[in-house]
Structure 1
Amino acid sequence: MTTTQEAVTAAERCIAEFRRDPHPVYAHLRDAAPVCPMKPPHGNETYLITRYEDARAALSDPRLSKDMYGAMDAYRRIFGDSSVALDDNMLNSDAPKHTRLRRLVNSAFTPRRVEALRPRIEEVVQSLLDACPTREPFDLLPAFAFPLPITVICDLLGVPPEDRSRLQQLSTTVAQTGFGEEFKRAQQKAEEDLHAFFTDLIAAKRAHPGDDMLSALTAVRDNDGGLTENELVSTAFLLMFAGHKTTAYLIGNAVHHLLTHPVQLRAVRERPELIRAAVEELVRYDGSVESATFRYATEDVEYNGTRIPKGALVQIALSSANRDPRKFTAPDELDVMRPGNAQDAHLGFGHGSHYCLGAPLARMETQLAITRLFDRFPGMALADPGGGPRWLEVPFPAFRGLAELPVVLEPAG
Structure 2
Amino acid sequence: MENSLNSLPPTGRWEAVDMARTGTDADIDPAVEDPTPQLDAWRRDGRRVVRSEAMGGAWLVLGHPEVRAVLDDPETFSSAYALGGPPARTLPPAVVAELPAFLREDVSGVVDVDLPDHDAPRATVLAAWSGPRVKPLAGTVRALARELAAALASRERADLVADYALPLVHRTMAAAMRVPEAEVPRVAAWAQDMATVLSPGPEEPKAEAARRLREYERWAAAFLRTVPPGGEGVLSVYLHGQGEGPGAAPPMTYANVVHNLLVHWVAGTVTTAHAISGTCYELLRRRELWEWARQAPHERARHAVEETFRHAAPHRGLVRVTTRECPLAGHAVPAGSMVFPLLGSANRDETRVRDALTFDPDRPEATPHGHLAFGHGVHACPGANLARLEARTAVAELLTALPDLALAEGDGELPPPRLPSLHFDGLAALPVEPGNGGRVEA
TM-score, normalised to structure 1, is 0.85
Q: Is 2:208 aligned against 1:186?
A: yes
Q: Is 2:38 aligned against 1:25?
A: yes
Task: State the 1:165 CA deviation.
Answer: 0.6
Q: String of CA shifts for 1:331-362, please: whole Å, max 9, x gaps.
A: 11111111121222111111111111111111
Q: Is 2:353 aligned against 1:328?
A: yes
Please give the alpha-carbon distance, in whole angstroms, between the structure 2 residues aligned to 1:233 and 1:358.
Answer: 18
- What SS class does the counterpart of residue 403 from structure 1 fall into? coil
Aligned to 1:134: 154
What is the correspondence of 1:382-393 to structure 2 with a 5 Å cutoff?
A: 382-384=407-409, 387-393=413-419
Contact 2:51 2:59 in 1 (8 A): yes
Q: String of CA shifts for 1:157-184, please: whole Å, max 9, x gaps.
A: 1212221111212223443555323322
Please give the alpha-carbon distance, in whole angstroms, between the structure 2 residues aligned to 1:71 and 1:165.
Answer: 26
Q: String of CA shifts for 1:50-70, please: whole Å, max 9, x gaps.
A: 111101111221211112399
Task: State the 1:375 CA deviation.
Answer: 0.7
Aligned to 1:212: 233
Contact 2:153 2:435 in 1 (8 A): no
Q: How many residues align?
A: 394
Please give the alpha-carbon distance, in whole angstroms, between the structure 1 residues aligned to 2:92 and 2:388.
Answer: 31
Closer/same/farther in 2, CA of residues 190 and 374 from structure 1, 3 Å limit: farther
Contact 1:86 1:195 in 2 (8 A): no
Q: Which amino acid aligns with 1:155?
A: A
TM-score, normalised to structure 2, is 0.80
Q: Is 2:379 aligned against 1:354?
A: yes
Q: String of CA shifts for 1:186-218, please: whole Å, max 9, x gaps.
A: 333344444444343223336x98542323432
Unpaired runs of at least 5, structure 1: 1-13
Q: Which amino acid aligns with 2:283?
A: L
Closer/same/farther in 2, CA of residues 115 and 260 from structure 1, 3 Å limit: same
Name the stretch that deviates more: 149-158 or 64-73: 64-73
Task: State the 1:73 CA deviation.
Answer: 8.4
Contact 2:281 2:430 in 1 (8 A): yes
* Structure with greater helix share of residues: 1
Task: State the 1:286 CA deviation.
Answer: 1.3
What is the correspondence of 1:118-197 to structure 2 with a 5 Å cutoff?
A: 118-176=138-196, 177-197=199-219
Say which of 38, 43, 66 aligns to 2:79: 66
Please give the alpha-carbon distance, in whole angstroms, between the structure 1 residues aligned to 2:323 and 2:49.
Answer: 17
- What SS class does the counterpart of residue 58 from structure 1 fall into? helix
Aligned to 1:399: 424
Name the stretch that deviates more: 248-257 or 263-272: 263-272
**Matched-pair identity in %:** 27
Unpaired runs of at least 5, structure 2: 1-27
Say which of 211, 220, 223 aligns to 1:198: 220
Name the stretch that deviates more: 87-96 or 208-217: 208-217
- What SS class does the counterpart of residue 244 from structure 1 fall into? helix
Please give the alpha-carbon distance, in whole angstroms, between the structure 1 residues aligned to 2:295 and 2:164.
Answer: 23
- What SS class does the counterpart of residue 339 from structure 2 fall into? strand
Say which of 252, 266, 289 aligns to 1:227: 252
